[in-house]
Amino acid sequence: MRQCVCTVDVPSEPRHLAVSAVSDKSISLRWDEPESDGGCDVTRYVVEAREGSRSSWQRAGVADNRQYTALALSAGQQYAFRVAAENRVGVGDWAEMAQSVVAKSAHGKQRAYSSSPQGCHTATRGTRMSHGITRCYLPPGGADIPALTPAEAGTRLSDPGGMQG
């Protein structure tokens, strides 16, 4: 008679943790499911934040789906985030952001993120921005860029870092 032993474990870390939106009082995150659920369904995701140069993480909240918005943040303050999947066995490994992000309004400078939120356009050298677009996102390796104001709408973007286009 052959016996089979099944084991369950905590989930692996969520994949592709990224910032999807930033304001002066909030930062929104999104991520993909972990590669492994540990043999049990993921029940929720635990989100932790670290302010500025502090070394300790604080629980920011939990999410039932793969997105979370941290609210009541301090404008101009830098934040780092990490997310872990949880199943009935426990909390798995943490996915941590590679870079911290500053809570800023669209009237200051915007951080260029490595992926564009849905519905946004990727700006490249020579791209003409239309009226009403107040943010743009650059490809990986992008730099800080000023947000466009309505008076600047329709202006041609310069080539700040030798981007090819």
Tell me the per-residue pLDDT of 130-150, one tens digit each, with 9 for 90 and over: 433 334 444 344 444 444 333
**Domain 15-102, CATH homologous superfamily name and number:** Immunoglobulins (2.60.40.10)
* pLDDT over 60 (residue 156): no
Measured between alpha carbons, how far is 151 from 69 in angstroms, rounded to an integer?
Answer: 31
Q: Is 23 helix (H, G, I), strand (E, B) or coil?
A: coil
Measured between alpha carbons, how far is 44 from 85 in angstroms, rounded to an integer?
Answer: 6
Q: Return the pLDDT at 106.
A: 66
Measured between alpha carbons, how far is 20 from 68 in angstroms, rounded to an integer?
Answer: 10
Q: Is 150 helix (H, G, I), strand (E, B) or coil?
A: helix
Measured between alpha carbons, how far is 100 from 60 in angstroms, rounded to an integer?
Answer: 15
Measured between alpha carbons, how far is 45 from 85 in angstroms, rounded to an integer?
Answer: 4
* Residue 152, φ and ψ in degrees, nearest 5: -95, -5
Nearest to 110, CA basis, from 84, 131, 82, 135? 135
How crowded is residue 152: how many other Cβ atoms within 10 Å of its Cβ?
A: 12
> Widest CA span of the chain, in angstroms?
78
pLDDT averaged over every residue in the chain: 74
Question: Sorting pLDDT into bands at 50, 70 and 90, what band is 128?
Answer: very low
Nearest to 34, CA basis, from 19, 51, 46? 46
Nearest to 9, CA basis, from 44, 39, 35? 39
The model carries a pTM of 0.63
**Residue range(s) of every CATH 2.60.40.10 domain in the chain:** 15-102
Q: Return the pLDDT at 68.
A: 98
pLDDT tens for residues 23-81? Answer: 999 999 999 999 999 999 999 999 999 998 899 999 999 999 999 999 999 999 999 99
Torsion angle, alpha carbons of 71, 74, 80, 82, to 10: -20
